[in-house]
């Protein structure tokens, strides 16, 4: 596919499509190797693009059998990306395009367009997959109602919208809501439904179905319950109601992404639908709840109002992630959810923003749009909306959202449209705020404090380091939530929102009796790095007294990080104060168990590598691993008694329930187990593995056994028990690699890659093994270079089969420049080997080039 270097697409080049579409009629005659797609599309000139224009349609890998305009045969000019009918050959005014093409879903391993998974047909069209189904203006600003007829022997035939008619071997669907082609979906298979219903607040009766393979019906209850709660929540909180008679969800085993919000027919990776206590962990249940909600929420933020072009991807994703975060916070503990979201943001988005792949929330160029489904667009996109809400207040936010839905329903919108509704609804000027969308990089916020005659002054300075293609960054609006606490532990200034707009800016607090301890960036009010040195005593004080749960956790986190980086960089271990503070927090029964579990979790090895890099040091993966292990063992020894007591106390009685309460108790109990396991020779883990009646405990116990270099028998038993269950066997692969000792990780991964169950063309299985290897920080970066080689060998093998997944997995190397010379030269050699692969996909080519471009 790579002849010359592929050309980028630029935001600045946008022009409206010269035609509008009145309606689309599609007929599918399904056959694995020769599916016929017959399309009939009504075009009319677009008044926004006056003049005569060629008809340009996207299309890739399609065999064109016939093409007609207004019933007359035409011969369009073909190229690798589509076809063109010259303006001169088109009628003036409206016309009808008809085409018949042939495609081979059974040979589609890229899982984009129409493909097959275990004998079932399904589609994935976002971002540009529809052009692999038929010739079409495959861009989000072309919206049309669709009518679809499916012909097949398979019993279940689904598409978007409402069912119209069906008979032996065929079914017809009609979607009245105009939509872009990326929201098209079709499913045909031998599937079983789990059904329920929902009555909207205006009284519309909606049939809900979750379609799975026969035998999986008993693992859909939680997904269905989550869907009904999400539908109700969107009515209550956003006033948004569902707009079709039926809502279908289909679970698919072979899927590149998590899930897809196709109008009325969501398609899900089966790992985000199927769950039972025996097969899914608490984390899986939580994720299912949030992704089911996310895809449902897209019905308004994404489907009814879509994106004008792919540069506006954050318009639908940032907003919908923000909405699903709000939903989870309402369903569970808001404090715990916020901490989890920030952990993810820092682990994925900060890492991206500080490396060669940094890009703005709204990028202005791309080669392959699939490479921009990133943590920056999704997670930082959500943070930007969270800040906007803080700045305009809850009421202003709701007013702006109401205006957004009213003004843009049925349209393909932009970030400018989005900000304009906030300006119009609240009267606020958002010109400076817009920089959060246009400028890449994570701002650094430093702070100075002065105390004089009862006046306490905080002076902040902001600075954003350069990112690829962007050197100069003007100051941004940063909402800084601050509270002040007296030395006796009382809060003297409750949470106050400071709006920083200058490069340097001071804020005064007057009339205070004594110098306060500041709690800055409460609730993580902005996605910035707060550079503030504090001593261990102050951090321990905040860990004990801060009224803001996020900052309370943050204080403990900073303590742990300071101890660990000291331990790793200088081999000194003043951990006493930290472990004591941790002990007090651990035994504080007034605190939510889930919160205590988060406090017990040490920063990851990758977090520590970043922290050392930020401090101007070269991170050594071996020393990071040893330092973190050493501190964990010290905690285990020093807190042995309370850990053992809480391990016993937090046992959850049967039956298993996945909701926040019992899940939090299990999280705390298993966090204690992870530490106790370092001194009890695996006795507790082995006992728990033997008696566990749920996957949360079973998988955690197995991980502990592998951590301790034990568990050979249990690994075998786990496999025997779950051999037929793909999702559980994914865990079996991942656990062994993720928890392997660093010097063994590459070997373990290599051995498992020869296992007959390593079905590497399945993205979940591939990620279970290779993703776990990349996540084993010390193992992946082992100085032998064996893991780098093994990893790239597999990327080279996967690329021709599935470019999208391959390209994504190159991000394992996005932090490569922070390591030492030996590791850097090994990684560079591997990346260059990948880049030099003949016929490398456009997806992987773009990613490797960007990552390699980082070397300074
Ligand atoms: Zn989404």
- What is the model's pLDDT at position 577? 87
With a CB cutoff of 8 Å and minimum separation 6, the contacts of 833 are 792, 796
d(CA 512, CA 547): 19
| Class of residue 703 by CB neighbours under 10 A (exposed 0-12, middle 13-18, buried 19+) | buried
End-to-end CA distance of the chain: 29
- What is the model's pLDDT at position 576? 87
Ligand 1: centre distance to CA 198 (Å):
23
Q: What is the 3-state secondary structure (H, E, C) of 508-576?
A: EECCCCCCCEEEECHHHCCCCEEECCCCHHHHHHHHHHCCCHHHHHHHHHHHHHHHHHHHHHHCCCCCH
Ligand 1: centre distance to CA 249 (Å):
15
Half-sphere exposure of 649 (CA within 13 A, CB side): 12
Ligand 1: centre distance to CA 413 (Å):
16
Q: What is the 3-state secondary structure (H, E, C) of 198-234?
A: EECCCCCEEEEEEEECCCCHHHCHHHHHHHHHHHHHH
Contact 790, 752 (CB under 8 A): no
306-307 and 412-413 strand pairing: parallel
d(CA 758, CA 729): 9
**Which tokens sit at 133?**
């189904």
> Which position has the token pair 């996957």?
695
Ligand 1: centre distance to CA 359 (Å):
19
Ligand 1: centre distance to CA 339 (Å):
21
d(CA 66, CA 63): 9
> Within the chain, which residues score under 70 in pLDDT?
1-5, 571, 573, 854-856
d(CA 125, CA 227): 23
Residue pLDDT, tens place only, 46-82:
999 999 999 999 999 999 999 999 999 999 999 999 9
Ligand 1: centre distance to CA 844 (Å):
22
d(CA 539, CA 580): 12
State whether the Cα torsion 682-684-689-694 is positive or negative: negative
Does residue 295 carry a catalytic annotation? yes
Ligand 1: centre distance to CA 320 (Å):
6
d(CA 748, CA 742): 10
d(CA 843, CA 806): 8
Residues around ligand 1, an ion, CB closer than 5 A: 317, 320
Please tell me which residue in 151, 261, 286, 295 is annotated as part of the active site.
295
Contact 367, 309 (CB under 8 A): no
Ligand 1: centre distance to CA 316 (Å):
7
Ligand 1: centre distance to CA 162 (Å):
22
Bin 203: left if φ > 0, else alpha if -120 < ψ < 50, else beta. left
Residue pLDDT, tens place only, 669-679:
999 999 999 99
> Which position has the token pair 């002076």?
459
Q: Quote the pTM value.
A: 0.98
> Beta-carbon neighbour count of residue 195 at 10 Å?
11
- What is the model's pLDDT at position 1? 41
d(CA 310, CA 100): 28
Contact 498, 479 (CB under 8 A): yes
- What is the model's pLDDT at position 570? 79
Contact 718, 702 (CB under 8 A): yes
């Amino acid at each position: 596919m790579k002849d010359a270097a592929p050309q980028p697409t630029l935001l600045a080049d946008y022009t409206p499509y010269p035609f509008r579409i009145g309606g689309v009629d599609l007929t599918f005659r399904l056959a694995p190797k020769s599916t016929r797609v017959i399309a009939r599309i009504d075009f009319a000139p677009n008044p926004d693009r006056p003049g005569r224009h060629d008809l340009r349609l996207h299309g890739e890998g399609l065999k064109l059998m016939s093409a007609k305009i207004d019933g007359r045969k035409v011969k369009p000019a073909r190229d690798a990306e589509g076809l063109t009918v010259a303006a001169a050959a088109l009628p003036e005014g409206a016309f009808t395009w008809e085409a018949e093409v042939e495609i081979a879903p059974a040979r589609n391993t890229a899982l984009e367009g129409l493909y097959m998974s275990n004998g079932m047909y399904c589609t994935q069209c976002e971002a540009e997959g529809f052009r692999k189904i038929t010739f079409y203006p495959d861009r989000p600003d072309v919206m049309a109602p669709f009518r679809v007829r499916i012909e097949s022997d398979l019993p279940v035939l689904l598409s978007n919208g409402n069912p119209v008619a069906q008979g032996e071997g065929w079914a017809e669907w009609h979607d009245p809501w105009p939509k872009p082609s990326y929201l098209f979906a079709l499913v045909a298979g031998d599937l079983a439904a789990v059904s329920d219903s929902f009555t909207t607040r205006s009284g519309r009766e909606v049939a809900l179905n979750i379609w799975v393979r026969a035998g999986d019906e008993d693992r859909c209850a939680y997904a269905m319950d989550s869907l009904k709660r999400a539908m109700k929540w969107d009515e209550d909180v956003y006033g948004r109601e569902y707009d079709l008679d039926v809502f279908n969800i289909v679970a698919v085993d072979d899927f590149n992404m998590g899930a897809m919000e196709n109008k009325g027919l969501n398609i899900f990776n089966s790992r985000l639908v199927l769950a039972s206590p025996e097969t899914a962990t608490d984390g899986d249940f939580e994720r299912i709840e949030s992704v089911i909600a996310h895809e449902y929420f897209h019905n308004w933020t994404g489907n009814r109002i879509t994106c004008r072009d792919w540069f506006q991807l954050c318009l639908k994703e940032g907003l919908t992630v923000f909405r699903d975060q709000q939903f989870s916070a309402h369903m569970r503990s808001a404090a715990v959810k916020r901490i989890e979201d920030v952990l993810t943001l820092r682990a994925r988005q900060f890492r991206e923003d500080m490396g060669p792949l940094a890009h703005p929330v709204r990028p202005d160029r791309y080669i392959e749009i699939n490479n921009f489904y990133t943590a920056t667009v999704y997670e930082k996109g959500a943070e930007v909306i969270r800040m906007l809400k803080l700045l305009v207040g809850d009421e202003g936010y709701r007013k702006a959202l109401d205006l957004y839905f009213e003004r843009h329903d049925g349209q393909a919108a932009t970030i400018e449209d989005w900000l304009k509704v906030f300006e119009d609804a609240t009267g606020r000027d958002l010109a400076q705020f817009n920089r959060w969308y246009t400028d890449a990089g994570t701002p650094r916020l430093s702070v100075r404090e002065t105390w004089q005659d009862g006046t306490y002054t905080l002076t902040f300075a902001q600075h954003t380091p350069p990112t690829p293609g962007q050197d100069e960054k003007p100051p941004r609006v940063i909402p800084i939530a601050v509270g002040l606490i007296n030395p006796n532990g009382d809060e003297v200034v409750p949470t106050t929102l400071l709006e920083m707009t200058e490069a340097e800016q001071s804020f005064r607090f007057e009339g205070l009796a004594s110098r306060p301890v500041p709690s800055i960036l409460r609730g993580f009010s902005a996605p910035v790095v707060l550079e503030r040195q504090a001593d261990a005593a102050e951090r321990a004080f905040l860990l004990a007294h801060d009224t803001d749960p996020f900052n309370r956790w943050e204080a403990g986190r900073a303590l742990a990080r300071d101890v660990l980086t000291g331990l790793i960089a200088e081999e000194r271990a003043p951990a006493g104060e930290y472990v004591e503070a941790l002990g007090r927090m651990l035994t504080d029964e007034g605190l939510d168990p889930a919160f205590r579990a988060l406090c017990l979790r040490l920063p990851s090895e990758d977090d520590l590598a970043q922290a050392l890099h930020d401090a101007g040091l070269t991170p050594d993966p071996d020393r990071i691993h040893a330092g973190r292990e050493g501190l964990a063992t010290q905690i285990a020894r020093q807190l042995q008694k309370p850990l053992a007591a809480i391990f016993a106390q937090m046992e959850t009685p049967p039956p298993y329930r996945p909701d926040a309460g019992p899940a939090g108790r299990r999280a705390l109990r298993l966090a204690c187990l992870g530490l106790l396991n370092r001194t009890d020779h695996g006795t507790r883990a082995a006992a728990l593995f033997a008696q566990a009646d749920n996957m949360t405990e079973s998988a955690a116990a197995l991980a502990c056994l592998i951590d301790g270099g034990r568990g050979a028998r249990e690994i075998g038993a786990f496999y025997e028990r779950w051999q037929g269950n793909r999702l559980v066997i994914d865990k079996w692969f991942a656990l062994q690699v993720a928890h392997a000792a660093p010097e063994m990780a590459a070997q373990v991964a290599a051995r498992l890659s020869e296992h007959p169950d390593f079905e590497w063309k399945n993205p979940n299985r591939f990620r279970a093994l290779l993703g776990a290897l990349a996540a084993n920080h010390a193992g992946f970066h082992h100085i032998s270079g064996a893991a780098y080689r093994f990893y790239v060998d597999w990327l080279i093998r996967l690329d021709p089969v599935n470019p999208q997944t391959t390209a994504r997995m190159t991000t394992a190397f996005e932090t490569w420049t922070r390591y030492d010379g030996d590791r850097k030269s090994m990684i560079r050699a591997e990346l260059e080997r990948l880049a030099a692969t003949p016929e490398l996909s456009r997806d992987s080519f773009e990613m490797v080039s960007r990552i390699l471009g980082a070397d300074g």
